[in-house]
Amino acid sequence: MRALQITELTGPDTALKIVDVPEPGAEHPMTPGSGVLVDVHAAGVSFPEVLQTRGEYQVRPPLPFVPGSEVGGVVREVRGDSPLQPGDRVAAFCMLGGFAEVAVAPTFLTFKIPDALDFAQGAALILNYHTAYFALKLRGRLAEGETVLIHGAAGGVGTASIQVAKGLGATTIAVVSTDEKAEVAKRAGADHVVRSDGAWKDEAVELSGGGVHLVLDPVGGDRFTDSLRSLRRAGRVVVVGFTGGSIPEVRVNRLLLRNTEVIGAGWGEWVLSNPPVNLEIGAAIDELIAGGHIDPIVGQRFPLDAAADALKTIDGRGALGKVVLDVR
């Protein structure tokens, strides 16, 4: 099968090579004795793959390896116990191996997708939407009627978080850095859009009538203190990532002054060791799709052999929704 391998840790421009490799076998390390073999139509591209081309991600398989954590495609074979059938259209989280014509994913991370979603949207569904639900609802305890501020709101996690938060009955304030990204956040359904280079903290306090209930933060960096200041009493900041490049530090006196919580949300760390939680999240996402709240925003699309451009788009802060590789 055709696949993309990371052959050297030289960054997005040069690390990837198109290769011809055997299809994943039954002894695949991610799914010993079980799992779902998927004919891949689209592969989702995310920050971790950018980091992997430099050897900077926490998962460091021996070289060479096929990256790609999630795909949209058609079930070819089901190994072990599963309600899925060959021919089902699915979104599958394979962790590695997704930048290829055939991938294998654990059964508990493979979900049927409705006909209304195309394969590219399927490839946008698991990492971002499951993270958004996990971070907003299970970790952040977002409740109907609350207001949530979402950083990096035109990116993959950001657009997903807008839609999940809206589906949970919250009001959303999106923080973005450009006019083009403001349009993307609006298309995702944001109620309000503010600019990260403007007075976003004051605007958020005003728009929410005294401070937001929750901040969802995939960006980190030096805006973190203003995120704390944008909260009302007993507000929560949910920490999701650090695309801004630096890990913020909190002076913890700020937390007791207004009964503030800072909450970590590491989706993979939680769900990989707890398969039933995936079913709970999958069912919640299905309900939000059926209710018309989730319609993944696919941004730039590239053929498999232009994956370097896909990675450079993310690396250069250019993602407009989910970046996707069209595999077949």
Ligand X SMILES: NC(=O)c1ccc[n+]([C@@H]2O[C@H](COP(=O)([O-])OP(=O)(O)OC[C@H]3O[C@@H](n4cnc5c(N)ncnc54)[C@H](OP(=O)(O)O)[C@@H]3O)[C@@H](O)[C@H]2O)c1
Q: Where does this chain bind ligand X (CB under 6 A)?
A: 46-48, 127, 131, 152, 154-158, 176-177, 181, 196, 218-219, 240-245, 265-268, 314, 317, 319
Whether the ω angle into residue 29 lies within 30 degrees of 0, i.e. cis, is no
What DSSP assignment string belongs to 140-166?
Answer: T---TT-EEEETTTTSHHHHHHHHHHH
* Alpha helices for 172-274 (secondary structure H): 179-188, 200-207, 224-229, 253-257, 267-271
To ligand X, the closest distance from the beta carbon of 141 in angstroms equals 17
Nearer to ligand X, 37 or 184 (CB): 184
To ligand X, the closest distance from the beta carbon of 294 in angstroms equals 16
Nearer to ligand X, 34 or 225 (CB): 225
To ligand X, the closest distance from the beta carbon of 83 in angstroms equals 26
Nearer to ligand X, 78 or 166 (CB): 166
Report the residue closest to ligand X, judged by CB: 155
Nearer to ligand X, 32 or 198 (CB): 198
Q: How far apart are CA 146 and CA 37, in angstroms?
A: 41
To ligand X, the closest distance from the beta carbon of 210 in angstroms equals 25
Q: How far apart are CA 97 and CA 93, in angstroms?
A: 10
To ligand X, the closest distance from the beta carbon of 84 in angstroms equals 24
Nearer to ligand X, 48 or 282 (CB): 48
Nearer to ligand X, 47 or 119 (CB): 47
Q: How far apart are CA 314 and CA 50, in angstroms?
A: 8
Query: How far is CA 285 from each of CA 22, 223, 277, rounded to the nearest angstrom?
Result: 34, 30, 12
To ligand X, the closest distance from the beta carbon of 272 in angstroms equals 11
To ligand X, the closest distance from the beta carbon of 181 in angstroms equals 5
Nearer to ligand X, 119 or 133 (CB): 133
* Alpha helices for 175-315 (secondary structure H): 179-188, 200-207, 224-229, 253-257, 267-271, 275-290, 307-315
3-state SS record for 99-124: CECEEEECHHHEEECCCCCCHHHHCC
Q: How many Cβ atoms from other residues are within 10 Å of residue 182's Cβ?
A: 19
Nearer to ligand X, 131 or 260 (CB): 131
Q: How far apart are CA 166 and CA 85, in angstroms?
A: 32
- With 0-12 / 13-18 / 19 or more C-beta atoms within 10 angstroms meaning exposed / middle / buried, residue 220 is buried
To ligand X, the closest distance from the beta carbon of 209 in angstroms equals 25
